[in-house]
């Protein structure tokens, strides 16, 4: 039936999703026709969620096996093999971060598209409900005025025209026409009599969509925050940040697979509806609304017969006849019975209001309004809604892959951080060229300088009463005093490998600020001391 539609064509992705295998929990293939009340069809959608759960279980088992392999096979790597491994870890982390950022962008777009589609669906449902409510209001108002207000006017006129049988006959004819109108209006196949409350359905869909949109928004923000914190932890090489990322990464991996299974099931079910929406609507309204009325609104066209045409024609003819009769009574009976003018004018106003209701009711019952709402709802669900669900499924798949890669990369990074710290611990802490020693000196400067200052003070105290030393031998490239100062500075132990640095006049760049200041003060003091002794 849907293939004959020229104003609605299901998109290609709905046909692709419609071809997905529909298997119940007993592994039996079933028909892919959209039947949400059928138990086997519900099981086919649950089966898709179970497939995602199976993928999650396999992923967690692979991660557990990989982590067990890293823990059990810790072997010392040479210096040549550390650099390529570190490079692989870095590139894997960078690629995983880029994939997560791309997945978050895709997820934001898909979440927005799905929300737009559902909003268009609820907006169309509210419009259709407003139209149907307007029809009900007009029908109930017209029927009430014909049965109550008109009846009161006719009863008073019967008393006034009691002496004129011809006028009484006219009033009886007006009552018959009013009964015809009431009968035609009560026979209209209204949706309200089908126990279908479109506003309530729209409220439920809107509430569910709000929580769905908010949940995915929080999931997207969580993925982005985890990606940024993981990059920060790898850059700062922080163990506690990497541990936190491992915990939240496993949680996000589980949520990504759950999102993939749920999104796939909803997308397949919605696509089954979008491929043949008219068939589902006809089945849902069978026995509640006549088939010709449903067909009239689903396939609105000039060639289709209007099921309300006969009722509206009888309504208009009866109303016109009543107006003619009341106009004749106003013209001929009022001069004889002046007290009848008030009731006759009241009936005339009532008929004028019923004529206005007739025009409004004819416009509301026309198929173009409800048919447009129906098409807008289909386009919102089957185009924007299903397309957004596909992007959400893509986001879930990319996020699961990226977080799986990240969870495999973080233990490697942890291992490199541990080996680096172990290498720093193996270096002599007393070595001034050790970066670890420089960091220790920065936090504890007293430990780094106390030995040098004590040696310098004792040496100066003993040297003040001594004669100046003999001139250095020609083979030496620096005075003996400078060399002795270097020995005093480095704890009294001469370092012959540092001899080329003696005559530079400044310490090597790797010295700490306290060592540099000590060196300069010692050098200037020794120069002044030996200069004074030489002048004397």
Per residue in 381-417, pLDDT tens? 999 999 999 999 999 999 999 988 888 877 776 666 6
Q: What is the pTM of this model?
A: 0.72
Phi, psi at 457, each rounded to 5°:
-65, -45
Look at the block and give the residue holding tokens 């020609």.
474
Tell me the longest C-alpha to C-alpha distance in the chain: 161
Is the confidence at residue 489, as pLDDT, over 50? no
Q: Please enumerate in sequence order all residues whose Cβ is within 8 A of that of 318, keeping only pairs 6 or more positions apart, or say none.
A: 177, 178, 180, 181, 184
Rg (CA), the chain: 46
d(CA 371, CA 121): 13
CA angle 287, 290, 293 (to 5 degrees): 145
The count of other CB atoms within 10 Å of the CB of residue 312 is 18
When pLDDT is cut at 50, 70 and 90, the band that residue 188 belongs to is confident
- Cα 71 to its chain centre, rounded Å, is 37
The count of other CB atoms within 10 Å of the CB of residue 386 is 24
User: Please, what is the angle between helix 165-186 and helix 309-332, to 10°?
Assistant: 160
Q: What is the mean pLDDT of the segment spanning 423-435?
A: 47
Q: List, in sequence order, every beta strand (DSSP E) within 409-475.
A: none
Is the confidence at residue 514, as pLDDT, over 70? no
469 with 481: CB under 8 angstroms?
Answer: yes
108 with 220: CB under 8 angstroms?
Answer: yes
What is the model's pLDDT at position 270?
Answer: 94
d(CA 104, CA 221): 8
Per the structure block, which two tokens stand in for 79?
């210096």
The count of other CB atoms within 10 Å of the CB of residue 111 is 23
Is the confidence at residue 491, as pLDDT, over 80? no
Report which secondary-structure segment, H or E, holds 125.
Answer: helix 79-144
């Amino acid at each position: 039936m849907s293939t004959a539609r020229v104003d609605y064509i299901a998109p290609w992705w709905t046909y692709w999703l419609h071809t997905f295998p529909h298997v119940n929990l007993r592994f039996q293939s079933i028909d892919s026709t959209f039947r949400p009340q059928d138990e086997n069809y519900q099981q086919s959608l649950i089966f898709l969620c179970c497939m995602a759960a199976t993928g999650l279980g396999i992923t967690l088992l692979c991660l557990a096996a990989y982590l067990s392999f890293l823990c059990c096979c810790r072997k010392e790597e040479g210096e040549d093999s550390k650099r390529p491994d570190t490079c692989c870890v870095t590139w894997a982390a960078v690629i995983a971060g880029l994939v997560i950022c791309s997945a978050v962008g895709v997820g934001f777009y898909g979440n927005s598209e799905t929300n737009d589609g559902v909003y268009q669906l609820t907006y169309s449902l509210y419009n259709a409900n407003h139209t149907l409510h307007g029809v009900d209001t007009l029908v109930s108002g017209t029927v009430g005025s014909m049965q109550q207000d008109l009846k009161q006017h006719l009863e008073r006129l019967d008393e006034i025209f009691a002496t004129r049988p011809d006028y009484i006959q006219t009033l009886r004819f007006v009552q018959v026409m009013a009964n015809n109108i009431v009968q035609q209006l009560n026979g209209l196949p209204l949706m309200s009599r089908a126990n279908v409350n479109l506003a309530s359905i729209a409220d439920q869909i809107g509430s569910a969509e709000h929580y769905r949109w908010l949940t995915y928004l929080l999931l997207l923000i969580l993925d982005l925050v985890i990606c940024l914190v993981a990059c920060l932890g790898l850059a700062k090489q922080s163990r506690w940040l990497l541990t936190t990322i491992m915990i939240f990464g496993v949680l996000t991996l589980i949520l990504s697979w759950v999102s993939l299974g749920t999104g796939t099931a909803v997308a397949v079910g919605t696509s089954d509806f979008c491929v043949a929406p008219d068939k589902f609507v006809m089945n849902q309204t069978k026995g509640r609304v006549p088939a010709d009325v449903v067909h009239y609104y689903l396939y609105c066209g000039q060639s289709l017969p209007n099921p309300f045409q006969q009722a509206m024609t009888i309504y208009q003819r009866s109303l016109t006849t009543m107006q003619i009769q009341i106009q004749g009574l106003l013209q001929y009976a009022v001069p004889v019975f002046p007290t009848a003018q008030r009731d006759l004018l009241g009936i005339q106003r009532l008929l004028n209001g019923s004529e206005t209701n007739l025009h409004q009711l004819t416009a509301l019952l026309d198929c173009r309004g409800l048919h447009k709402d129906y098409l807008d709802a289909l386009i919102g669900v089957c185009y924007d809604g299903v397309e957004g669900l596909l992007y959400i499924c893509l986001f879930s798949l990319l996020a699961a892959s990226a977080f799986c890669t990240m969870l495999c990369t973080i233990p490697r990074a942890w291992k490199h951080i541990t080996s680096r710290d172990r290498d720093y611990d193996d270096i002599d802490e007393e070595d001034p060229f050790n970066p670890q020693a420089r960091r220790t000196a920065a936090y504890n400067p007293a430990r780094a300088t106390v030995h040098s200052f004590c040696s310098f003070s004792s040496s100066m105290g003993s040297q003040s009463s001594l004669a100046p030393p003999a001139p250095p031998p020609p083979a030496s490239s620096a005075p003996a005093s400078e060399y002795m100062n270097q020995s005093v500075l480095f704890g009294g132990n001469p370092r012959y490998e540092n001899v080329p640095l003696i005559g530079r006049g400044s310490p090597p760049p790797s010295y700490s600020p306290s060592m540099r200041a000590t060196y300069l003060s010692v050098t200037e003091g020794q120069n002044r001391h030996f200069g004074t002794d030489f002048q004397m």
